[in-house]
Structure 1
Amino acid sequence: MSSDDQTWVPEACTLPSVQRPLRLAEFDDLFATALREQQRLSPTHLRWCLDPAAETTARDLTARESSCCSFFSFTLAGDAGVLRLDVQVPAAHVEVLDALAQRAAAGMTA
């Protein structure tokens, strides 16, 4: 991980800097092991389709992320063998969603 990995983290994030690489690694692992598809529904709304077996991990990770980055809105729903994870941010934090989308796309191809 390079220092550039955290340049998009907004000041609104209260996660201690030392823990940020670990959190990014958890998202990267989720993307690499469970992400099946990614859809950009709008500039402020992203949908990830995950393997349903990752539900516990996704719930835990998004709950912890919401506690330090309150601008995120995560919604989980499952049907037809797919777990949908919708991620929304206010317009002021679109660059954060862009960065997560790029990480997710890279994780799917890794």
Structure 2
Amino acid sequence: MSDQHVTTDDSWVPDVCTLPTAERPLRLAEFDQFFRDAVRGADRLSTQHLRLHLDGAEQVEETARDLTARESSCCSFFAFDIARRSPDSLTLDVRVPTAHVDVLDALAERAISARVQR
């Protein structure tokens, strides 16, 4: 599927997100591209915890750190943790409080859907 078929619907974005509405489609497109390029697998460890298995490339880690830092600055309820367990193994853990499980559900769905499109 091409980039043109990726939805940029941000109706699931909570009101507490401080990213200006006009910038949200761009951020969603960045996440979708990252998911397509980097995600190799996903595990839902709990309702509040998603683990994404990423391509182990150094550039992927840099992109993940940049993207999650920017996302944390506007959606402070996200807790991101990037870990390199070996030279080829990189994970991104995403945690949210109970009140934002629906946001994590939507993020997980986007990650899996983008990965499948690859």
* TM-score tier after normalising by the smaller chain length: over 0.9
How big is the alpha-carbon RMSD for the aligned residues of Structure 1 and Structure 2?
1.1
Matched, 1:78 2:76: no
Choose from 28, 34, 49 the match for 2:32. Answer: 28
Unaligned runs of 5+ in 1: none
Moved over 4 A (4+): none
Residue 76 of structure 2 aligns to a residue in which SS? coil
> Which aligned pairs between 1:1-110 and structure 2 lie closer than 5 A?
2=7, 5-53=9-57, 54-80=60-86, 81-110=88-117
Shift in Å at residue 107 of structure 1?
A: 0.7
Aligned residues: 109
Q: TM-score, normalised by structure 2?
A: 0.89
Q: Which runs of 5+ in 2 are unaligned?
A: 1-5
Q: Distance in 2 between matches of 1:48 and 1:42?
A: 13
1-structure distance, mates of 2:79, 2:50: 10
